[in-house]
Amino acid sequence: MNQPQAVQRADASSNTDLPQLYRMMRRIRTFEERVGELFVRGQSAGSMLHLSIGEESAAAGVCAAMREGDTFTTHHRGHGIFLARGADPNRMMAEIGGKEAGYCHGKGGSMHIADMGLGHLGANAIVGGGIPAVVGAGLAARHKKSGAISAAFFGDGATGQGILYESMNMAALWSLPCLFVCINNQYGMGTRIDQATANPRLHERAQAFGLTAETVDGLDVEAVAEAGRRLVDGVRAGKPAFLVIDCYRFYGHARKDKSPYRDPVEEEVGRAKDPVAFARAALIDRKLLAETALDTMDAEVAAEMDATIDFTVAQHEPPLSSMFRDVYAPEEPEPEPVRTRIDRILARA
């Protein structure tokens, strides 16, 4: 199980999810491009925007194997994963713009989007921070006999964090329905994976803990979906698993990073491994969709994602008073504002 596997396709021309997988990947790519535009237009809340361009197959492929009721957490580069789990791109973009209409009312932003309704237990700006939650969600699923699984999505950089190993050990020890998804885009900021670990065969670590583990080439979304399906079936049966998706981070770490630490030739080779273009070519090649049909699909997606910007720009900022909301549960009193306290004290002095 530890070698990247070629996918066996039962029938190349029919019964395939490739059109849907392609559409999802196109939506993710276009959404991320619009996030970049939002920043350029000065409409994003800050510049800590991490785009998942080049890794769309991980989100689209793995999420295709998940179902309603499943839960998941993501890292800071999680827009695509959430879209693939059914997010409303308008509310996502509004959150990235720091607007009241966003998923978290402008409090979270790009790195902290969540939606409990869709099973999204939260994006995280702490590398590795969201991983152990899936152990707890796995425990809960088993306790409640819900049949749900819980998936943690994280980057290769998170394999440096001890908490990943503590979590995998617990999941294996207790046979929990947990899936650990490592999106290996080869870099954690400016550090290439081989500069951060002596053994870059990351799935071997999971195997050491007793998890089912494999590595799949992210160029081929069907391969990712296939691996996802296989592993998710096992996970649902209480066999926790670890999936590495090999891909390449096409652009900088965050919006302002131009990756000067990368070799331009390496970048060119990396960007040539484009899962969206690869799927598009396969669709045409296998006569699943004609080029004109794909053009139409792309145009629809572009219109959908263009609208997220218009939507976001039109939204208002959260009201100042909302800052005291949701520190505690709504039935609890809000913290006293500093100004109120000062006035109260000085009125009596």
Neighbours of 179 (CB within 10 A): 30
Q: Which does 269 bind (CB under 5 to 8 A by kind): another protein, Mg ion, ligand TPP, none?
A: none
CB atoms inside a 10 Å sphere around CB 187: 22
> DSSP string spanning 212-256?
EEEEEETT-HHHHHHHHHHHHHHHHTT--EEEEEE----S-SSTT
In sequence order, the 6+-apart residues with CB closer than 8 A to the CB of 112 are 104, 122, 123, 124, 125
- Which residue in the set 109, 119, 132, 177 belongs to the binding site for another protein (CB under 8 A)? 109
For another protein, which is the closer residue by CB, 76 or 236?
Answer: 76
Binding mask 47-76 for ligand TPP (x = CB under 6 A): ---x------------------------xx
The Cα 220–Cα 245 span in angstroms is 10
Q: Which is nearer to Mg ion, 66 or 183 (CB)?
A: 183
Residue 104 and residue 114 in contact, taking contact as beta carbons nearer than 8 Å = yes
Rule CB under 6 A: say whether 127 interacts with ligand TPP.
Answer: yes
Q: Is residue 320 close enough to count as binding another protein by CB under 8 A?
A: yes
Write out 106-128 in H/E/C secondary structure. Answer: CCCCHHHCCEHHHCEEEECCCCC
Handedness of CA 208, 209, 210, 214 (dihedral sign): negative
Q: Which stretch binds another protein (CB under 8 A): 57-65, 127-135, 176-184, 215-223?
A: 127-135
Which C-beta is closer to another protein: that of 147 or that of 337? 337
Shortest Å distance, C-beta 151 to ligand TPP: 16
CA-based nearest residue to 180, from 114, 244, 248, 84: 244
**Residues 136-195 contacting ligand TPP, CB under 6 A:** 154-158, 185, 187-189
Rounded Cα distance between 336 and 333, Å, is 9
Q: Measured from the CB of residue 250, what is the shortest distance to ligand TPP in angstroms? A: 11
Closest CA to 77 of 19, 147, 127: 127
Q: Of these partners, another protein, Mg ion, ligand TPP, none, which one is at the site of residue 77 (CB under 5 to 8 Å by kind)?
A: ligand TPP
Q: Are 189 and 161 in contact (CB under 8 A)?
A: no
- Draw the binding track, 126-155, toward Mg ion (x: CB under 5 A; -: no contact): -----------------------------x
Alpha carbons 153 and 164: distance in angstroms, whole number: 11
CA gap 349, 340 in Å, rounded: 14
Q: Looking at residues 229 to 288 of the shown chain, list those that interact with ligand TPP (rule: CB under 6 A).
A: 249, 253
Residues 124, 130 contacting (CB under 8 angstroms) = yes
Q: Looking at beta carbons only, is 37 or 257 nearer to ligand TPP?
A: 257
**Cβ proximity to another protein, 67 vs 341, nearer residue:** 341
Residues lying near another protein in the complex (CB under 8 A) are found at 45-48, 98-99, 106-112, 124-129, 157-162, 188-191, 195-197, 261, 317-318, 320, 322-324, 327, 335-339, 341-343, 345-346, 349
Residues lying near ligand TPP in the complex (CB under 6 A) are found at 50, 75-77, 125-127, 154-158, 185, 187-189, 249, 253
Residues lying near Mg ion in the complex (CB under 5 A) are found at 155-157, 185, 187-188
